[in-house]
Chain A
């Protein structure tokens, strides 16, 4: 074997190359060591950053660092509380609660961007017309916005504007100057919104990312590519976005002065969450998101300190958490901290109330609900990261009734077997096999399917699980062709109306009421409560509705989610928030601690 052999030389060069390129230097090391960089991951791809089209949590969590709304949630206070963001204060509301007058802050500017040709790229001041323009874009049928549901039927004249855009032929431009009765800007910093009907949830929706103002110049400059060129008023601007790979944002130098909150919830001071009180936001100079769709690599880069925070994938739960739901000592030794919080979510098996077998057979639905041992389900499928549900409203909400016990949600196979006999009588003979449609065919979905099959078999009911992908599943429920379906709901805002709309008869499929549940009493109560401002009386109405729904049993209510999140101790001011997304501005990094731990 001679070293003059060219094959050997090539192999040697390759080996040296591989070792040289992969072995030298750490991954993602910063040249500028004083720069405060936050490392994050995303488990799904960001679809786009135009607020009008954002309907998924991944895109929201990123774009909300760039765009802001009239209102935002207080970062620290619990229960969740709204505070003004782009609005100077809370609105003035007319006596009939149909006219809202918002005063805007006058120190807000869009970030610099080449789209502002009139000012040679310098971002201009935010004005009330930017909101009107953004909301008309959502109404414009041609834009196929995901978020028309936010405004539909509420703002005077906006539905008519939508109808007008729908009548235009291909190639005809929408006239955005066309007046809308309910949207007026008497001056640059005043926005008047007139409603068709009372809308107590309006401020929650005005803290929802899709309602963020958009600069007309940006839309005109970038056209359809606006999804890749977000121009907002928020604390960060987009520096780099490689789709499916990474996103980098840097501090917006034109961000107005906003201060870290000086008060929080009980225990926040002791937890060090008020150490930066009164200081100007943001603290982080640069945020880097790595898109990692698989659990193992995400977990490994977190454990190596390449991420500042992470959730706990199911398969790695036992490595991090002890049976007593505490962080294991070896994790604590690494400087990792655990935060546990309730999710605004409920998961269920829904019944299609228009199905001839399950829809007209209450004992059957009740029997199926009683057949599932929720505690066992929680242990097996969530590593105890969930709470047994008694109804649709999760514990996080003011309208949640902690004393309510739903007999249909109690594991009771004996009673379920009795109910099944009644169900057979109602059906008029032996019950056929019930088909449960399930989104996904991965291991977890199949394990859940097997569990439910076994649980139903235990009471003498045959079920078939139909595994399918998400679009097929959507098709099944939206066309009312599913018999029973596995799904859940994560609230958009802290008002139980968001859950109760799912049982309103005017929302049946393809609307959000996928149960196709119809109950005139629930409808009347929903309409009454929806129009009422928050009060004890409204809470009672929600309790009443929930009691009726529990008894009618249009769903097997399973669990409410509980989230576990890990973060290193160098990540400061970290407090999970389930409704707000633009939270990066509050967080901080202790660079010295991180450098000592992982060398960057």
Chain B
């Protein structure tokens, strides 16, 4: 397995480099020069040019051919392209252009807030939806199955924003069961993330239940399930011991690959409940063309995604003895 992991990690290198290349190309394609904003609203053309120079936006895009012809090799590679790669691969990202903060400091302070919302929401969503999916699979074809599927479709059709507006107004403001907004770190966080977490679970339940129901039903139709029932095993035993275990492959695929995105937070929930997480940080960075932050976030997320894929493969071999990693 060790050689498999090493091989997979080596395969990831071109993937990461490809992502960096695509990010660089995108940065250069999308319009929006942050120098205009950074120069202030009454700035002159000279001031904007000064700022572009200081931030390196006027450096050669790929290679300084003039420096190269003069034999100044280091200067030749002092270009936007190579700096983009250098910053990412050495994890030495410049400060944010808009908040002036070190990106790592921001991530350190914001990731716990995002995770304190996203992790319980994700766990709650997965556990609840698998439980409901098992139930639905067990009662398939009955009125309860039809009703639950109908509720799932209705739930999926309602936008997340509606859940938030309703929950915040009625559950928090009218009934006073939860704080309207806010966030405090530590144990206090639970009080503030409870409502957004519940709303996140409710809004996601429809699609998750439908997906898991399909997975469970596929398994239920297999011969081994029929055999298990024929042997006289109880329904819970068949469902939890056999069906669930065999359905784990697609479940693990979706679960593990979702984990890196928990780090990015939930934009809408964070914005409406004033939770200072990663979601709004990333969106704000994009909206202000804060390239160092976008670069760092894209790189980190792709790194986590690649690692997530590796973990998924390892998990396959753990839950299914037929799979071995070579």
Contacts and interface: CB of A to CB of B under 8 A. Distances in A.
Contacts of B182: 27-28, 245-246, 290
Given A296-B169, A472-B30, A475-B33, A22 B276 contact: no
A48 B100 contact: yes
A306 interface: yes
Nearest to B274: A292
Identify which of B31, B33, B172 gathers the most chain A CB atoms within 10 Å of its CB. B31
B320 interface: no
Interface string B182-226: 110000101100110000000000000000000000000000000
Interface in B63-112: 95, 98-101, 106, 109-110
A476 interface: yes
A249 B173 CA distance: 27
Nearest to A163: B50
Interface in B29-86: 30-34, 36-48, 50-51, 53-55
Interface in A136-182: 141-142, 144-149, 152, 162, 166
Contacts, number: 167
Contact of B33 (A246, A290, A478): A478
B13 interface: no
A572 B272 CA distance: 30
A149 B36 contact: no
A474 B32 contact: yes
Contacts of A468: 31
Contacts of A545: none
B234 to A, nearest CB: 17
Contacts of B195: 22
A296 B100 contact: no
Nearest to B37: A474
A512 B287 CA distance: 21
B181 A511 contact: no
Interface in B257-276: 271-276
B177 interface: yes
Contacts of A48: 99-100
Contacts of B47: 148-149, 152
A242 B100 contact: no
Contact of B274 (A53, A291, A476): A291
Interface string A286-298: 0000111110110
B164 to A, nearest CB: 8
A148 B50 CA distance: 11
A243 B109 contact: yes
A454 B272 CA distance: 34
Given A17-B190, A297-B168, A471 B31 contact: yes
A446 interface: no
B288 interface: yes
B190 A290 contact: no
B280 interface: yes
Given A17-B190, A474-B36, A512-B41, A23 B31 contact: no
Contacts of B48: 478, 510
B322 to A, nearest CB: 31
Interface in B280-305: 280-281, 284, 287-289
Contact of B99 (A19, A243, A296, A469): A243
A575 interface: no
B272 A297 contact: yes
For chain B, give the interface size range: 35 or more
B138 interface: no
B271 A147 contact: no
Interface string B103-136: 0001001100100000000000000000000000
A501 B168 contact: no
A227 interface: yes
B57 to A, nearest CB: 11
Nearest to B289: A471
A224 B95 contact: yes
Contact of A55 (B41, B178, B188, B288): B41
Given A290-B181, A290-B182, A146 B39 contact: yes
B97 to A, nearest CB: 9
Contact of B280 (A246, A293, A303, A492): A293
Contacts of B274: 244-245, 290-293, 297
A243 B177 contact: no
B180 interface: yes
Contact of A300 (B37, B180, B188): B180
A55 B40 contact: yes
Given A17-B190, A475-B31, A511 B44 contact: yes
B179 interface: yes
B158 interface: no
A160 B178 CA distance: 59
A47 interface: yes
B139 interface: no
B144 interface: no
Contacts of A146: 38-40, 43
A475 B36 contact: yes
A27 to B, nearest CB: 5
A144 B54 contact: yes
Contact of A296 (B36, B183, B190, B272): B272
B94 to A, nearest CB: 10
A510 B45 contact: yes
Contact of A149 (B40, B168, B172): B40
Contact of B287 (A53, A144, A470): A470
B36 A300 contact: no
B21 to A, nearest CB: 22
B151 interface: no
Nearest to B110: A244
A13 B115 CA distance: 22
B318 interface: no
B32 A475 contact: yes
A292 B280 CA distance: 12
B165 interface: yes
Contacts of A476: 31
A300 B172 contact: yes
Interface string A35-71: 0000000000101101001010000000000000000
Contacts of A19: 177
Nearest to A242: B276
Contacts of A27: 179-180, 182
Contacts of A293: 271, 274, 280
A243 B55 contact: no
B177 A510 contact: no
Contacts of B194: 18, 21-22
Interface of B: 30-34, 36-48, 50-51, 53-55, 95, 98-101, 106, 109-110, 113, 165, 168-169, 172-173, 177-183, 188, 190-191, 194-195, 271-277, 280-281, 284, 287-289
9 contacts: A21-B191, A45-B284, A144-B55, A149-B44, A227-B100, A244-B110, A244-B281, A476-B31, A512-B42
Given A17-B190, A45-B284, 14 more contacts: A28-B182, A47-B98, A141-B50, A146-B38, A243-B106, A243-B109, A293-B271, A296-B168, A303-B173, A472-B32, A474-B32, A478-B48, A511-B45, A512-B43
Interface of A: 17-19, 21-23, 27-28, 45, 47-48, 50, 53, 55, 141-142, 144-149, 152, 162, 166, 224, 227-228, 242-246, 290-294, 296-297, 300-301, 303-304, 306, 468-472, 474-476, 478, 492, 501, 507, 510-512
Complex A-B, nearest 6 residue pairs according to Cβ-Cβ distance, in ascending order: A471-B32, A244-B276, A146-B40, A245-B276, A149-B42, A21-B191
